[in-house]
Amino acid sequence: MRYEIGKADSMRGVSRILVFTIALAYPVSLLAAPQAQSAPADTASTQNWTIDQVVTDTVSDAWHQGGETEAGFFAIVKTMAQFAAQKRNVALPDSRDAGRRMGQYIKQQARLDHQQLLYPIVDKAVRLVGTPVATDTSAAPPAPKQ
């Protein structure tokens, strides 16, 4: 019986995840650049996560690790998005539309299975809205002639 109560509480907490994703409709640039915060509300939502701390989180794990708050969950998604954008060599656009699309995609995918890994969802969202970063090829040495 105790397990059932804990599971019910867990599912209620996970359902709150879906509510937070509306907050992801903010410009995607908020994900790309660290923001200064005023007085911290709690340590879970203001903690600076490293990718090593969050990369293996499921949707449910990230919600709990983020202190079961929108701000905490968003901080984890932000860490993942920054990492994915860097690895994919893309820039996240500074627009509400891109943020809305990214948030909707994450919300849609998170609803499918709360026990799935969150990083692949965020990575796919970054690929959907990110724009390729131009690389400077002038510094590259010419290819050797054969």
Per residue in 21-50, pLDDT tens?
444 444 444 454 444 444 444 555 567 899
**For residue range 65-99, what is the model confidence (pLDDT) as tens digits?**
999 998 999 999 999 999 999 999 999 998 999 99
Please answer whether residues 10 and 60 qualify as being in contact, where contact means their C-beta atoms are separated by less than 8 angstroms: yes
Q: Give the residue with greater pLDDT, 136 vs 134.
A: 134
CA atoms within 13 A on the CB side of 26: 14
Mean pLDDT of 1-6: 49
* Distance of alpha carbon 135 from alpha carbon 27, whole angstroms: 24
Instruction: Please report, for the chain, the start and end positions of each structural domain, with discontinuous segments joined by +.
Output: 2-32+45-132
